[in-house]
Amino acid sequence: MKAKTVETTYREALREALREALREDERVFLMGEDVGSYGGCFAVSLGLLEEFGPERIRDTPLSESAFVGAGIGAAIQGMRPIVEVMTVNFSLLALDQIMNNAASLLHMSGGQYDVPVVIRMTTGAGRQLAAQHSHSLEGWYAHIPGLRIVTPATLEDARGMLATALRDPDPVLIFEHGSLYNLKGKLRADAGAVDIDHAAVRRPGDDVTLIAYGGMLARTLEAAEALDAEGMSAEVVDLRTLRPLDDATIIGSVRRTHRAVVVDEGWRSGSLSAEIVARIQEQAFYDLDGPVERVCSAEVPMPYAQQLEAAALPQVDSIVAAARRTKG
């Protein structure tokens, strides 16, 4: 018998996850700019103020460093804060608190101070928001020890990652891609917490492994379809969690396909794609038929003009072309 499903969107799935967390644990609260009366800059928290009140749906002034730090402190003091930083672009203002407090306190204190804070932010380009509103820094954040970084790309993960993140004893950063909020689809009516330790094979294949996450997953799956039509069977791995990386799933797939393409919306040099390439060649060098290919964003502050932005981002055809190149 098939499980009952409901029509929903990525945005509604995130909201439902927030609502559930707020209902089930009184230590949970949401804090950030315009999460309350405005309803969330991308309407994710719309209606929650009315349901849970201003104590638990806390509007903050423009003070990223202070309210992110406040989330860290409140977590230490026994609460389960969900801090929303409107977009990753503005999180730079809170980076000292994230790296030097959230990620370091446990170790600096010799294991005494764990920091169960969850920080949500929107990431990514594709909406012509130009240089200061289009960064994809989630892979860059994945460099920081002590953090867990997750990137929901599906309705299931949008619905389920928050609950698991809240149970995590350490800081978790959730990156929601701005282009996914309106993603529509069916979701199991009983959908809930999901694993955040493993990558997922979203599409099985034999000839090449396409590795992606977040905002790049959909176009990577499209590329896989296109490759199929050409007789190249592509396996698509959704990283889901960028730190720690699930080497087993990545390497396991590449060992079978002998070819890989990493798709990463980050700027190419020093992006997470480089780390994945490094790990593949460290762990599966002799299984590779050729170099691992990378499809990343052009190394430019994202331009506004539509054709320039499109050219700066990984696209289906550039992914397909890279996959073809792996056949040499």
Partner 1 sequence: MTADPLDLLGTMLLIRRFEERCAELYSNGQIRGFLHLYVGEEAVATGICAELTETDSVVSTYREHGHALARGVPLESLMAEMFGKVSGCSRGRGGSMHLFDRSRRFAGGNAVVAGGLPLALGLALGDAMQGRPAVTACFFGDGAMAEGEFHEVLNLAVLWRLPLLLCCENNLYAMGTAIAKEHGRTELALRAASYGATAWPVDGMDAIAVNRAAAQAVDEIRGGSGPVFLELQTYRFRAHSMYDPDRYRTKDEVARWRERDPIELLAARLRADGSLDDDALAATDARVTAQVAAAIEQAERGEEEAVAELTRFVYSESSTAAGSVR
Q: Which residues bind its own copies (CB under 8 A)?
A: 89-90, 92-93, 95-96, 99-100, 103-104, 107-108, 130-132, 135, 139-140, 142-146, 243, 245, 266-267, 269-275, 277-278, 281-282, 285, 288, 290-294, 299-301, 303
161 contacts 106 by C-beta, under 8 angstroms: no
Report how far residue 190's alpha carbon sits from residue 16's, in angstroms, rounded to the nearest whole number: 12
The DSSP symbol for 94 reads G
The listed partner (partner 1, ligand TPP, its own copies, none) that binds 272, CB under 5 to 8 Å by sort, is its own copies
What's the closest the beta carbon of residue 194 comes to its own copies, in angstroms?
23
The listed partner (partner 1, ligand TPP, its own copies, none) that binds 182, CB under 5 to 8 Å by sort, is none
Report how far residue 40's alpha carbon sits from residue 45's, in angstroms, rounded to the nearest whole number: 5
The listed partner (its own copies, partner 1, ligand TPP, none) that binds 69, CB under 5 to 8 Å by sort, is partner 1
Question: At residue 102, what is the residue type?
Answer: A
Sheet holding 172-177, edge to edge: 57-59, 28-32, 80-87, 118-123, 172-177, 148-150, 241-243
The listed partner (partner 1, ligand TPP, its own copies, none) that binds 68, CB under 5 to 8 Å by sort, is partner 1
User: Is the omega angle on the peptide bond into residue 244 within 30 degrees of 0, that is, cis?
Assistant: yes
What's the closest the beta carbon of residue 229 comes to its own copies, in angstroms?
27
Q: Mind telling me the catalytic residues?
A: 64, 133
Report how far residue 325's alpha carbon sits from residue 328's, in angstroms, rounded to the nearest whole number: 5
263 touching ligand TPP, by CB under 6 A: no
- Region binding partner 1 by CB under 8 A among candidate stretches 8-16, 17-25, 86-94, 205-213: 86-94
98 touching partner 1, by CB under 8 A: no
Torsion of CA 116, 117, 120, 123, to 10 degrees: -80
Give the one residue of 122, 303, 322, 323 binding partner 1; rule: CB under 8 A. Answer: 303
Residues from 89 through 128 that contact ligand TPP (CB under 6 A)? 90, 93
What's the closest the beta carbon of residue 93 comes to ligand TPP, in angstroms?
6
Closest residue by Cα to residue 173 from 194, 153, 196, 147: 147
Nearer to partner 1, 42 or 209 (CB): 42
What's the closest the beta carbon of residue 56 comes to ligand TPP, in angstroms?
21
What's the closest the beta carbon of residue 17 comes to its own copies, in angstroms?
28
251 touching ligand TPP, by CB under 6 A: no
240 touching partner 1, by CB under 8 A: no
33 touching ligand TPP, by CB under 6 A: yes
140 touching partner 1, by CB under 8 A: no
278 touching ligand TPP, by CB under 6 A: no
86 touching ligand TPP, by CB under 6 A: yes
Closest residue by Cα to residue 124 from 110, 111, 135: 135
Burial of 26 from C-beta contacts in 10 A (0-12 / 13-18 / 19+): exposed
Report how far residue 181's alpha carbon sits from residue 155's, in angstroms, rounded to the nearest whole number: 10
What's the closest the beta carbon of residue 45 comes to its own copies, in angstroms?
25
181 touching partner 1, by CB under 8 A: no
147 contacts 172 by C-beta, under 8 angstroms: yes
Phi, psi of 229 (to 5 degrees): -60, -30
Report how far residue 169's alpha carbon sits from residue 171's, in angstroms, rounded to the nearest whole number: 7
Give the one residue of 77, 190, 229, 328 binding partner 1; rule: CB under 8 A. Answer: 77
